[in-house]
Every structure is written in C-alpha cells, then in structure tokens.
C-alpha cells in the first residue's frame, strides 16, 4: 500500500528576536519563495535555525554541513564530512552549540569558532534530536531499545527510558523542560501500533500518552506558544490525519482528514494555530475547526520539502529538499491575517 502521512498536534514557546521587516506579501500569496541555494551536490537531510535567528545550517546526506548568516544569506562556515552522513541537526537554546547526529554518533560544534566540542558514540542508528531548554541535555532517538538523554558536558546518559521500546522518533522537550515527548512503539495488543508518550523527568516515568496510528511518527514539533505539538505520521492508504492534543491532559482537541499525500515537511505558521504542509505540487494551510485547507499555493518545490523550519524573529521559513539541486529554499509568510 502507498504511504501517506498523519499529523498530530499536541497541547505544549520559542523565544523570538527581531530582524529587519520582511517585504509584505499580498493576501493572495500567504507564502512566497524569496531565496534558494545549492550548497552541495547531494541530497539534504538535516536543517536547523538558531534560536537567536542569526544563522541557519543545512547538512547533506554525505555529511557536509554548510552554515549561513541569516541576514546576508552568505555562507559563513562549511564543515566537511567525517565518515558519516547527517540525519538531523539542532541548535542549543542559547545558539552556542550545533548538534549533528548520524547513524551511530552525535557530534557537537561550537558556533563561535566551529571547533568540535564533543563526539558521543551511540548504541544504535539515531536520527532525532531535542535540546533541553535549561539543562545541558540532549535527547537522542532512533532504532534501539531505549530513549536516551545525554549530558553533553560529561557525555554520560542522564536519563534512559526502556519500557517496551523498539524504537522512538520525533522527540521534543516541553517548554519548561519537565517532560519529554516521543513517538514510540505501543506494546498493548489490539491498540494502535504507535503512541505519543509523555515522560516525566522528575519521576522518570511515562505519565501520559495519545494514540497515533499504525505507523511511526516522524516529526514532533513544538508550537510557537508552547502549548501544542504537531506530529507528522505516514499512514497506509491515501488519507492524512491531523490531530491537536492538549499536552497537559494528552487529549485530542482538533482533528482533520485529507485525502492526499503530505510529505514530512510540516510546520506551525506564526499565528501558532495554522499549519503549513507540503505535498506534490502545492503547499496547504490548515486551521482548527476547518475540515479543508483554507489556502493552497501551487509550487514545484513542495513535493520535495523534507523539513520545514521557522527562522526565529521573522515570518520566514527554511526548507530542505530531497533532491540534488536547490537543496535549500527560504519562504516568507504574509503579514495579512489568514482567513478561509
């Protein structure tokens, strides 16, 4: 059966800094491409924007990392591959560290001089990361029997959750750092195969969950207001499900159904409620309470959008693409209020 994705939004802020005002777009263009680049000749798999809004980085499948200045969009650093390809990248909350994870290694770079700070060997193939908002911790997930949180100072495991895990993906810390959310395998027979779990870091126990479906989630994204999670889940058949779940009680608040295939590229828009999704030939914008997209924007870039990342302090979004040309694009959202 063909696979198409599922989105789940769960109840969970990102600090924003200011940059020069973006050129306003007309109401007919809720999102518009303003820049593109081909930094290397390989497929892009990792993308990250610093919380300070001053820089962003893209990684190729073969391991090359290219860092750009946000305002000038010029390359400020290129890191050559170190015998591994990159599956995901994230900046630390203070923007001082860039983490890159490959099959079995987590590498940390200082962003002031771009020297390697740490290299931590991992027990299994991992491709999902999340930095703790206040502690020097980073959650790493992938194929394996545990969901681990590493202390990046002493390179030791600070927390590890192993109960009936065969793999975990799409990890995300809560705004206050008390909880860790992850899409994991569900061991309960007769129930959906995958659930979004909440782990309490004060008690080291799983204390809440929400059903996802019969296939694994690939993205767990914190909303700008910190109250929701957006989860992208490929599903069998041709339907796409969107769910919004309140994180404090892990109950579904909104649900949408669409008969189309959505790529892994998904993101919250600046209002913190609307959702941007990418599929073959177009972008769609969804809102709570609406069963259909409120806007669809034709684009040849949408079908290859692997990841969509907001640039803090702007109305701009970065996208990396599953192709060997124009691996990174930048898009600007309209200042006009979204309406059906």
> How far from chain centre, in Å, is Cα 232?
9
Are 234 and 226 in contact by the 8 Å Cβ rule? The answer is no
Top-ranked range on mean pLDDT: pick from 9-13, 161-165, 220-224, 288-292: 220-224
Mean predicted lDDT score pLDDT of the chain: 80
Which of 38-42, 189-193, 197-201 comes out lowest in average pLDDT? 189-193
* C-alpha–C-alpha distance, residues 218 and 183, integer Å: 8
Question: Over 50: is that where the pLDDT of 99 sits?
Answer: yes
pLDDT value of position 89: 95
- In which band, very low, low, confident or very high, does the pLDDT at 231 lie, cut at 50, 70 and 90? confident
Q: Which residue has the higher pLDDT, 277 or 145?
A: 277
Note every long-range contact of 113-120, with CB atoms under 8 Å and residues 24 or more positions apart, other chains counting: 114/67, 114/77, 114/79, 117/152, 118/152, 118/155, 120/150, 120/152, 120/155
pLDDT value of position 240: 43
Topology given in CATH for the domain delimited by 3-333:
Methylamine Dehydrogenase; Chain H (2.130.10)
Question: Over 80: is that where the pLDDT of 289 sits?
Answer: no
For the chain, percent of residues with pLDDT exceeding 90: 39
pLDDT value of position 42: 82
Which of 37-51, 228-242, 253-267, 304-318 comes out lowest in average pLDDT? 228-242
pLDDT value of position 17: 30
Spans of all domains in the chain: 3-333
Question: Over 70: is that where the pLDDT of 229 sits?
Answer: yes
Classify each residue of 246-284 as buried b or exposed e, where b means 16 or more C-beta atoms within 10 Å of its C-beta.
bbeebeeebebebeebbbbbbbbbbeebbbbbbbeebbb
pLDDT value of position 143: 77
- In which band, very low, low, confident or very high, does the pLDDT at 239 lie, cut at 50, 70 and 90? very low
């Amino acid at each position: 059966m063909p696979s198409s994705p599922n989105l789940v939004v769960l109840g969970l802020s990102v600090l924003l800094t200011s940059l020069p005002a973006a050129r306003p777009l007309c109401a007919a263009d809720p999102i518009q491409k303003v820049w593109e680049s081909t930094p290397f000749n390989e497929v892009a798999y990792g993308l990250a924007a610093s919380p300070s809004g001053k820089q962003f980085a893209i990684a190729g499948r073969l391991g090359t990392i290219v860092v750009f200045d946000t305002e000038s969009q010029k390359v400020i650093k290129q890191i050559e591959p170190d015998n591994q390809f990159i599956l995901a990248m994230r900046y630390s909350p203070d923007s001082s560290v860039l983490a890159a994870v490959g099959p079995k290694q987590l590498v940390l770079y200082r962003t002031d001089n771009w020297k390697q700070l740490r290299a931590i060997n991992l027990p299994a193939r991992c491709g999902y990361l999340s930095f703790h908002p206040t502690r020097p911790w980073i959650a790493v997930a992938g194929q394996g029997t545990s969901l681990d949180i590493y202390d990046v100072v002493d390179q030791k495991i600070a927390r590890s959750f192993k109960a009936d895990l065969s793999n975990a993906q799409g990890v995300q810390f809560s705004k206050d750092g008390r909880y860790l959310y992850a899409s994991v395998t569900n061991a309960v027979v007769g129930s959906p195969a995958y659930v979004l779990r909440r782990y309490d870091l004060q008690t080291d126990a799983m204390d809440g969950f929400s059903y996802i479906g019969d296939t694994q989630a690939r993205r767990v994204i914190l909303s700008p207001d910190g109250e929701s999670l957006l989860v992208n889940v490929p599903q069998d058949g041709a339907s796409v499900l969107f769910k919004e779940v309140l994180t404090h009680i892990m109950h579904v608040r909104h649900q949408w159904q669409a008969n189309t295939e959505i790529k892994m590229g998904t993101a919250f828009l600046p209002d913190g409620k609307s959702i941007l999704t990418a599929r073959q030939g177009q972008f769609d914008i969804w809102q709570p309470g609406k069963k259909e997209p409120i806007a669809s924007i034709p684009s040849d870039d949408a079908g290859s959008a692997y990841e969509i990342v907001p640039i803090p302090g702007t109305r701009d979004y970065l996208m990396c693409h599953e192709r060997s040309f124009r691996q990174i694009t930048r898009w600007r959202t309209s200042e006009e209020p979204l309406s059906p």
